Each structure stands twice: as structure tokens, then as C-alpha cells.
Amino acid sequence: MEAEQHELYEYARDRIKQKKGLFYHFIVLCLGSLFLIIANKWLGLYSDKTWWTWAVTVWIFLFILHVIRVFVVSNFMNKHWEREQIDKLMLRQANKIEKLKNDLENSKPAAE
């Protein structure tokens, strides 16, 4: 039971780390977007163009990809999924080895 509790703890710790990173990304996105708007509008950095909208749009797109990674991909392809895939591959390999052994035994000529 101790190993199972440790595994649950590690999974929870990893999920919290992912969500914490997403929260930091959101804060940096908000502050960075504000800085870009201020740099364009008030500081006059290329004030004839609204370049900040493209920068913020790309950043929001990257943030959405981060959200998808944390809440969709990580839930789907977690440690449990990895373990199931490893078990399937190990079973498939064991079946192939057993089949090869049976084929080898059946192909041996009978020693008389």
C-alpha cells in the first residue's frame, strides 16, 4: 500500500506543478500584454502600427496550447496510460516469444 500511496502523491505533485506553471504563464501573459500595449501606445514604440495585437495574439495561442497540454493531453497520456501501453507491449512480446518457441519445437525433427 505504501508504494501505491507514493505513486498517488507523485501524480498529485506533478499535476500541481503543471497547474502552477499554467498559472504563472497566465500572469506573465497578462503583464507582458500590458507592457506591449504601453510600449506601443504611450512610449511611442512604432506607434504608427498596432504590432502589439499580433504579439499578444501569438502569445494567447501559445497559452491555449499550454492549457490543452495541461488539461487534455496530461489527463489522457498520464502514468496510468503509459503503464497500460507498456503492459500491452510486454504481453505482445511475450506472445511472440512463446510462438517462436512453439514453432521451434514443432520444426525440430524427431530424434530416434
- The position carrying cell 512480446 is 93
Residues 40-64 have pLDDT tens digits of 888 776 767 788 899 999 999 999 9
The more confident residue out of 108 and 35 is 35
Average pLDDT, the chain: 86
The pTM assigned to this predicted structure is 0.66
Residues near 55 by beta carbon (within 8 Å), at least 6 away in sequence:
36
* Domain definitions of the chain by residue range: 2-76, 77-107
Is the separation of the CB atoms in 32 and 12 below 8 Å? no
Is the separation of the CB atoms in 9 and 22 below 8 Å? no
SS3 label, residue 64 = helix
SS3 label, residue 13 = helix
